[in-house]
Amino acid sequence: DADTAMYHAKAMGRNNYQFYTQEINKKDNDRLTLETDLRKALDRDEFQLHFQPKINLKNGKVVGVEALLRWKNHPNVSPAAYIPLLEETGLIIPVGEWVLRTACNQIRAWQAEKLPALHIAVNLSVRQFSQKDLIDTISRILNETGLEPYLLELEITESLLMDNKESNIAILTNIKNMGVRISMDDFGTGYSSLSYLKRFPIHTLKIDQSFVKGITTNADDAAIAGAIINLAHSLRLNVVAEGVETQEQHDFLLQNDCNQAQGYLISRPLPAAEFETWLKARNA
């Protein structure tokens, strides 16, 4: 109905809303159906991770992968479309734990197969920070899987800096002290004050893809991306560009000293087996 539609339109943004109506909600028009389906999805093993490589721009080497959630029944729907609902229902807690464990296990499996060492980046939603045992969960999963903490990178967004600032800083500091890295995703799109950057134990800034999109065609986007790269270097942070789709964007970023790149130019996010094939071919 109209209220439900409005709810989703607001929560998910216009593009995701279109996906939602076209893909997920073809037959049933209520939010409850989606919620019920999401509740069952974990038990029924309907979630999957795709992996997207990040390269070192200077030497082209694959340095790591970002794990991205996929719902097998709706492979073309961005998780951005249902993560708000996962958060609202609290399902993000068990799903987030599943993502973390599956991602760490995958890297261990690739280590066992003697693939070159890869970092794994996992997205954390703000809601996971209100879970009181987040630190325990991370450390338990590292123990269970045997992954070296420095290979794990947690991607957070600026919205984390807005509410519960002090307690979130404390949690992030604990995570950092475990040896796990923290990356600021979608940087430049939030409302955070730059002064928080020095208080947050961040290892990496990820330039949001909205700026990367225009770097070779729009002087403002180029200036913003350049400024973020300089800011990162001044603060001794690693800097990654996401959403790199063209060789021109790649070359601009390389010339402007960006450390790493991620995007369709290099590879789309791929299921584990396909990523493995892709990596072997690239390294051959």
Q: Which residues are near ligand C2E by CB under 6 A?
A: 52, 68-69, 78-80, 83, 96, 99, 123-125, 155, 185-186, 209, 242-245, 263-264, 269
Burial class (CB in 10 A: 0-12, 13-18, 19+), 7: middle
- For the CB of residue 202, give the shortest distance to ligand C2E in the complex, in Å: 15
Handedness of CA 253, 255, 258, 262 (dihedral sign): positive
* CA pair distance 137, 62, nearest whole angstrom: 28
Residue 27: Cβ within 10 Å count: 6
Q: What share of the chain is helix, strand, coil (3-state, %, to 5)?
A: 55, 20, 30
* 188 vs 226, beta carbon nearer Mg ion: 188
The helix/strand/coil state of 209 is helix
* 39 vs 201, beta carbon nearer Mg ion: 201
Figure out which of the listed residues 123, 128, 145, 249 binds Mg ion, where binding follows CB under 5 A: 123
Residue 25 binding result from Mg ion, ligand C2E, none, given CB thresholds of 5 to 8 Å by partner type: none
Residue 83 binding result from Mg ion, ligand C2E, none, given CB thresholds of 5 to 8 Å by partner type: ligand C2E
* 125 vs 238, beta carbon nearer ligand C2E: 125
Q: Do 153 and 183 meet the contact criterion of CB atoms below 8 Å apart? A: yes
* 14 vs 198, beta carbon nearer ligand C2E: 14
Q: Does 155 interact with Mg ion (rule: CB under 5 A)? A: yes
* 2 vs 187, beta carbon nearer Mg ion: 187
Closest CB to Mg ion: residue number: 155
Residue 53 binding result from Mg ion, ligand C2E, none, given CB thresholds of 5 to 8 Å by partner type: none
Q: Does 97 interact with Mg ion (rule: CB under 5 A)? A: no
Q: Do 95 and 43 meet the contact criterion of CB atoms below 8 Å apart? A: no
Burial class (CB in 10 A: 0-12, 13-18, 19+), 273: exposed
- For the CB of residue 1, give the shortest distance to ligand C2E in the complex, in Å: 27
* 1 vs 187, beta carbon nearer Mg ion: 187
- For the CB of residue 257, give the shortest distance to ligand C2E in the complex, in Å: 20
Q: Do 145 and 108 meet the contact criterion of CB atoms below 8 Å apart? A: yes
Tokens 């021109």 found at: 248
Contact residues for Mg ion, defined by CB under 5 A: 123, 155, 185-186, 242
